[in-house]
Structure 1
């Protein structure tokens, strides 16, 4: 099967989304902050039924165009402001990669709580978010960054399938520390 991302000039799916698909069976998935759909298209090709949301209507329009051209019935692109923290469905997998740091700092707690509330029992949340630490001061002026241990504390009581706070590189070359979490909600 040809890779849809390369066909449409999109970046490959985030490496953590690809790794998560080794653990998570296809189910109803939510791609939060989907941009032009690199993760949503990958999840679709892995058999997931994907709702892809982003506040950027142009990005959603691009994804909608791909969905129509390819006659994809398992991706529903929707314009949605993540700051609203008002999800209206439950999912087996919610991916939020390199998105939280662009949200309104005062809304991140509500967004994470809403994600948890709308994850089915036994379902998964995947989060990758920039950090601002003494070792790696964040070089970008993001509205929000995580502190050490903050994300794992928010997911206390969930099974942490994967958790690290490792240095990484943004697509623009900036070096910073990221919190990466794949957590399973208790049954």
Structure 2
């Protein structure tokens, strides 16, 4: 697999995306808050059909340029305000890594509800979000941070493939606690 990320001066794909791909087979995937496309490029090379959304038009244009240069046919980049919580398709896998903390705090639960609704039965959601806890106050002033247990509560009834609230380090070196979850939506019961 060609390392398109380093070729275009991007960070590597998020480690949790790499780990999740050990559980998730290629399918239609939504990369929410794709930024410059580091996860989208990785997923496309694994055979996923990627819809990559971000509100930043410049980031989407940059990703479109890479897609054109590399003749990539399985990434569909789109400008989209995630705060709207109005996805227009269903996906087998939705990736939302270090995105929620930049959203309007009063929209996050609606965004997560929309993600759950637009996940196909048996599909997966991957979420990584900064936390602000008494033990580890968040050193970065994000608009939104997760509280202890908040993410797993919102995904009750889903199979938890991975769920933790561990310390992590951001690209800038800041250390903080992250809520990390890979969850599988229950398959619909067979109709009689």
The aligned residue for residue 162 of structure 1 is 162
Gaps of at least 5 residues in structure 2 are: 188-192
2:5 aligned with 1:5 = yes
Matches within 5 A, 1:95-110: 95-110=95-110
1:12-33 deviations in Å (ceiling 9; x for gaps):
0000000000110000000000
1:27-60 Cα shifts (integer Å, max 9, x gaps): 0000000000000000001110000000000000
Q: 2:77 matched to which residue of 1?
A: 77
Relative to the length of structure 1, the TM-score reads 0.99
Unaligned 5+ runs, structure 1: none
C-alpha RMSD of the superposition: 0.5
- The one-character-per-residue Cα deviations of 1:138-167 (angstroms, maximum 9, x if unpaired) are 011100001100000000000000000001
Q: Structure 1 runs of 4+ off > 2 angstroms?
A: none
Counting only pairs closer than 5 Å after superposition, residues 23-42 of structure 1 correspond to structure 2 as 23-42=23-42
SS in 2 for 1:61: helix
What TM-score do the two structures reach when normalised by structure 2?
Answer: 0.97
SS for the counterpart of 1:147 is: coil
Q: How many residues align?
A: 187
Q: How does 1:80-91 map to 2 (within 5 A)?
A: 80-91=80-91
